[in-house]
Amino acid sequence: MKKKVLVTRKLLRSNEERASKLWDAKLNLNDEVYSQQKIIELSQGCDGILSSLTEKIDEKVINSLPPSVKIISNFAVGFGNIDHQAAKKRNIIVTNTPDVLTDATAEIAMLLILGACRRAKEGMEFARKENWKWSADFLIGKQLTGSRLGILGMGRIGRALAKIAKSFGMEIHYRNRSRLSPEIENGAKFHESIKSLFSVSDVLSICCPATKETKNIVNKETLEYFPTGAIITNVARGDMIEDEAMVEALANRKIYAIGLDVYKGEPKINSGYLNQSTAFILPHLGSATKKTRTAMADLAISNIDEFFNTGKCKNTIN
């Protein structure tokens, strides 16, 4: 008898076809965002769940899942939506999809840097209005060549971004939980503290995981560390930035511009950003290429398949 798996969001067709061949898959054909209660109800009789970041699978949900559920495979590199410690107590394996979205997310990180530095939002607004006039000082932005890029979190995405940014002539600085080996650093300069990194960052890219330590790491106090006129971008998680302090810093020009692909309360956003002409904002597009989304779902499926076949999974996070 085939294993039964709840797939909480609609996947690309090829991924759904593969899941249906492997298991008795409960697909979400209408791509409804399931409530916590709906997840509990639909998981009855299931052996596993293929979830996404849109579902909050907290301790309450974990403890309400049927005993048959033995694995939750998250369709994301992050797993902040799942209480993996609560899952561990119930002997439920939690997995994620690392590696496969590195390049796509690094590309978006570079897009945010370029969009914020070169005033892309304002430029598009002028183009739509068809009333702009060229002049020597029209929409002058900041050039990347020779500028210092601070990368907060030099993991896979941070290192991929560093490689791209170097081709633009940027000088790479970074802060990580531990210093990288010289060959992996590839000329990047390590900083022992947040203050040290922020103080040299003409541009900052936030690429680190969301943890208790990194929540609101960019705040009223730490914004003062930056050079006046710095640019801040974020492809990690919205929790990293204290929005009110950031909006104030943009308004008083301490921070020149911001580029966000992630933010608190998605899809809602702090209205203060919408009033700032130098806020370049995208709707969480980091992994949004067909190649990457297909690979992510394939890995999430493979994680479950590996577990069902061997009782183990190499991408386990708990």
Neighbouring CB atoms inside 10 A of 302's CB total: 18
User: What is the CATH architecture of 102-281?
Assistant: 3-Layer(aba) Sandwich (3.40)
Judge if the upstream peptide bond of residue 267 is cis by omega within 30 degrees of 0: yes
The answer to whether the beta carbons of residues 15 and 294 sit under 8 Å apart is yes
The residues that bridge with 50 in the sheet, in sequence order, are 7, 73
CA distance 59 to 76: 19
Whole-structure pTM over 0.95, yes or no?
Answer: no
User: What is the CATH architecture of 4-98+290-310?
Assistant: 3-Layer(aba) Sandwich (3.40)
- What are 42-94's pLDDT values in tens digits? 999 999 999 999 999 999 999 999 999 999 999 998 888 999 999 999 999 99
pLDDT for 318:
84
Question: Annotated catalytic residue: which of 119, 237, 242, 293?
Answer: 237
Q: Give 276-293 as a 3 state SS string.
A: CCCEEECCCCCCCCHHHH
Average pLDDT, 10 consecutive residues per value, the chain (318 residues): 96 98 97 96 98 95 97 92 95 95 97 98 96 96 98 96 98 97 96 98 95 94 98 96 98 97 95 96 96 97 97 91
The answer to whether the beta carbons of residues 241 and 209 sit under 8 Å apart is no
The residues that bridge with 303 in the sheet, in sequence order, are none
CA dihedral 260, 262, 264, 267 (to 10 degrees): 100
Instruction: Give Cα 312 to chain centroid, integer Å.
Output: 26
Active site residue 179: no
Active site residue 18: no
Q: What are the E-state strand segments in the chain? A: 4-7, 24-26, 48-51, 71-74, 93-95, 148-152, 171-175, 189-190, 203-206, 230-234, 255-260, 279-281
DSSP, residue by residue, 175-239: E-SSPPPHHHHTTPEE-SSHHHHHHH-SEEEE-SPP-TTTTT-B-HHHHTTSPTTEEEEESS-GG
pLDDT for 79:
86
Break the chain into its structural domains and give their ranges: 4-98+290-310, 102-281
Active site residue 266: yes
Whose CA is closest to 74, among 122, 6, 27, 165? 6
pLDDT for 258:
98
CA distance 42 to 66: 10
Domain 4-98+290-310 identical in fold to domain 102-281: yes
- What are 64-76's pLDDT values in tens digits? 999 999 999 999 9
Instruction: Give Cα 206 to chain centroid, integer Å.
Output: 9
Question: Cα angle vertex 52, ends 92, 62, to 5°?
Answer: 30
Contacts of 180 (CB under 8 A, 6+ apart): 154, 174, 188, 190
